[in-house]
Amino acid sequence: MALHCEKQDNNENTFAGYALMEDFSQLNFRSLRLFVAVVDQGSFSEVARREAMSPSSVSRVIQQMEQALQTQLLYRNTRAVSPTESGLLLTHHARQVLDQLEQAMRGLQEQEREPSGLVRINAPVVFGQRHLAPWLHELCARYPKLQIELMQTDDFIDPLHDATDLLIRIGVMADSSLQSRTLGYQYFTLAASPAYLARAGIPTSPWELTQHSCLVFKGFAGSQRWFFRQPDETWQPYTLRGVLTSNNAETLTQAALDGMGLVVFPTWLIGDALHGGHLVSVLEEYQVSTSLEAQTISAVYPNSKKPSIKVRAVIDFLLEKFGEPAYWER
C-alpha cells in the first residue's frame, strides 16, 4: 500500500478511496486472522500447524491479500517473516476489526444465554472472607451453571498475566491498562475498645495520640502513616507507635478488641465491631485515612475486551448485594 506525498485533487482522492474500498472488499475475516497470526508468530509453518493447514496454503492466502491490495505486506527470508510498513498498518486495523467482530459475535451469542462456566476471582484475604464468601451460596443459587474459583491473597496480582477473570482491588486505582467498576469506597475510622478508652482516656485531638498505644499495620512499604484533617482543611500525617505492630489486619483488630490500643482501619473491616459496640469510633470530628488519595473497592478486569456475560453477572450481583452506600457503612 504505497503512500504518496504529492498533492492530488479531490477527484483523484475520491477515485483512490473507492479503489481502496474495492481492494478491501476482496478480503475476508479468515484471511485477516491468518495474516495477524503470521505477524504475531513470525512464521508460516507455526501458523499452519496451529490451523491444521499446510505452510504453502497459509503463504498463498497472504499472497492473495498482497495481490488484492497491490502492496507487499511481509518481508520473507529463510528464518522468519516480518511485516513491512504497509503490513504494520494493516495489522493495526485488522486487530481492531477482528476484536469488534469477536465482541459482536459474543454479544449475539449471549443474548439468549444465561451466565455459565468458570469465573476465576482474586480478592484480598480478609475482604474475601468478610464480604465475598457470605454471598457465594446465593450467587451460585441464582446462576447454577456458574463455577466459582475464589483465590484469596494480599499479593499483587496482574490480571493481564495471571489466570484471573475478575480481581477485587482495594486502594488507589491508577492502572490505565485495566477497566474497573466501583463496588464501594474505602472509608477509615479511628477506634478502640470501651475498656481501653476507660483506662487510657479518650483523645480529643490527633496530637494526643502520641500519649496512647497505637496499633499500626506494617506492610511491604513500611509502617502505615495516619492522616487526619478537619473538613475543608489539609491532611496532616502522623507516624505513631504502640505495643504492637503487625502485617496482619485480623491480628491488629483482635488486639484492639482486647483493649491493647487504637487502630485505624476501613469500615468494611471493623464495621461489625463498631455496630456491636465492641469498638468505639473516636475523633469523629476529624476525617482519617492512610492515604492522601481517595481509595475505592473495585472490580477490575483487563481493558482489552468487553467482559463476558459471566463476569458481568458476578459484578452486577456484588453491586446489588453491597448496595449504595455499602451495607457496612449503614
Residues 212-264 have pLDDT tens digits of 999 999 987 788 899 999 988 999 999 888 899 999 999 999 999 999 999 99
Q: Is the alpha carbon torsion for 275, 281, 287, 290 positive or negative?
A: negative
The per-residue pLDDT for range 162-171, each reduced to its tens digit, is 778 899 999 8
Question: Class for domain 188-289, per CATH?
Answer: alpha beta
Q: Which residues, in sequence order, are bridge partners of residue 76?
A: 81
- Please report which confidence band the pLDDT of residue 54 belongs to, taking 50, 70 and 90 as the band edges: very high
Confidence at residue 314, expressed as pLDDT on a 0 to 100 scale: 96
AA identity, residue 160: L
Please name which of 20, 177, 32, 27 lies closest in space to residue 98, comparing C-alpha atoms.
Answer: 32
Asked if 225 and 214 count as a contact pair (C-beta separation under 8 A), the reply is no
| Separation of alpha carbons 255 and 266, rounded Å | 16
Confidence at residue 161, expressed as pLDDT on a 0 to 100 scale: 65
Give the mean pLDDT of the chain.
86
User: Mean of the pLDDT values across residues 88-112?
Assistant: 81
Confidence at residue 304, expressed as pLDDT on a 0 to 100 scale: 57
- Please report which confidence band the pLDDT of residue 173 belongs to, taking 50, 70 and 90 as the band edges: confident
DSSP string over 235-246: -EEE----S-EE
Higher-pLDDT residue of 27, 226: 226
Show Cβ contacts of residue 10 under 8 Å, excluding neighbours closer than 6 positions: none
Pick the CATH number of 10-110 from 3.40.50.2300, 1.10.275.10, 1.10.10.10, 3.30.70.100: 1.10.10.10
Pick the CATH number of 117-185+295-329 from 3.40.1550.10, 1.10.287.70, 3.40.50.300, 3.40.190.10: 3.40.190.10
At 68, list the grid cell.
Answer: 488484492
Confidence at residue 251, expressed as pLDDT on a 0 to 100 scale: 95
Confidence at residue 109, expressed as pLDDT on a 0 to 100 scale: 65
| Separation of alpha carbons 241 and 77, rounded Å | 67
Q: Tell me the CA distances in angstroms from 212 to 188, 191, 200, 241, one per residue in order.
A: 19, 12, 7, 9
Are both 10-110 and 188-289 of the same fold?
Answer: no
The maximal CA–CA distance of the chain, rounded, in angstroms, is 90
User: Mean of the pLDDT values across residues 287-296?
Assistant: 92
Confidence at residue 8, expressed as pLDDT on a 0 to 100 scale: 43
Q: Is the pLDDT of residue 3 over 70?
A: no
User: Mean of the pLDDT values across residues 174-201?
Assistant: 89
- Please report which confidence band the pLDDT of residue 177 belongs to, taking 50, 70 and 90 as the band edges: low
Please name which of 263, 248, 258, 214 lies closest in space to residue 126, comparing C-alpha atoms.
Answer: 248
| Separation of alpha carbons 7 and 13, rounded Å | 9
Map out the domains of the chain as residue ranges.
Answer: 10-110, 117-185+295-329, 188-289
Confidence at residue 114, expressed as pLDDT on a 0 to 100 scale: 83
User: Mean of the pLDDT values across residues 292-297?
Assistant: 90
184 Cα distance to chain centroid: 14
At 31, list the grid cell.
Answer: 484471511
pTM for this predicted structure: 0.63
- Please report which confidence band the pLDDT of residue 200 belongs to, taking 50, 70 and 90 as the band edges: very high
